[in-house]
Amino acid sequence: MPRKWSNPSVYYHILKLSLGSRAATQELAWIKQALSVDMPPAKDYDALLASMVRRRANGEPLAYVIGNQPFGSLSVKCRPPTLIPRPETEHWTMKLLEILHASRWHSKTHVLDICTGTGCIPLLLAKASPNGHLNAVGVDISALAINLARGNVNDVLRDGHNSVSIVKGDLFSTSFADDIYRQLSQPRAPFDVITCNPPYIPQHEYDRLSPSVRDYEDPVALLGDHAGQPSDGLSFYQRLVEILHSTSSPLGKNSILTEGGMLVVEHGDGQSQAVQEIFKTGFGRKLSRMEAWKDQWNKHRAVMAVL
């Protein structure tokens, strides 16, 4: 059983040693707020608080300790080891929303989110879109992520007419597209928008990550070097090009993205030019427009391509 401290100031001082004064004050308030909302019945408040403080002081990410992470207007449930949604991802998702709001609400928009994790991207798109105007599918290889994302769907989309389905899929499988459609009840049709926040960290950078990331979050969701490919973190962008050029599907070439459809991918700091070159070379004349998007810290963080 976690140790209990009779003096409440001990919680602050424990966190201060790990986080500093300002962060300790703020995070202790968030931990207490999370307990006040989700306190299990018949549980000892002090024991739970002591446990959560100790976990955070030992380096466990705050989102895992309190069980959720803000993402736009949403509070997304988080559980280890599924990747925690980042503010940078929220930033470009909001930019995508602005584009969709301005151009696509004359008809329903179909979105495919690859490497969906918690489901945060399709959930924010669905929640912030007019009812009946967006249908999304989130795909992940991890069973833990799929279960978590489905729980988030149930929590976030209790009302309304937009839908998000979560299915299992391996981007590097030769039957990736067929596997997705096989799990959906809707008729087979290409998507209007494909989003992807893939693993993109090279091994040499992963080895230097802080323990709070490396020791808790799934390396499969972080490492961008696929087996047998260069150690540059770019394997998933190469594979996206291959998938979108695949002729193996009954619908023919480029069958999972409609003509004139949009592809938006997140990438790591310093990878923008490389990702753009992959798309220019891979898509060739089918690439009609491409933009490099910056995050809220003025760093290139996403590439948008219209095919």
Q: For 59-87, what is each residue's pLDDT tens digit?
A: 999 999 999 999 999 999 999 999 999 99
Query: Which residue type, as a one-letter code, is found at position 65?
Result: V
pTM: 0.92
> How does the average pLDDT of the chain come out, rounded?
90
Structure tokens at 2: 């976690």
The closest alpha carbon to 307, from 241, 250, 239, 249, belongs to 241
The backbone torsions φ and ψ at residue 235, rounded to the nearest 5 degrees and listed phi first, read: -60, -40
What confidence score (pLDDT) does residue 291 get?
98
- Cβ(138)–Cβ(166) below 8 Å: yes
Q: How far is CA 23 from the centre of its chain?
A: 25
- Cβ(286)–Cβ(265) below 8 Å: no
CA separation for the pair 105, 19 (Å, rounded): 45
The backbone torsions φ and ψ at residue 118, rounded to the nearest 5 degrees and listed phi first, read: -70, -10
Condensed to tens digits (0 to 9), the pLDDT of residues 244-259 reads 986 444 444 447 999 9
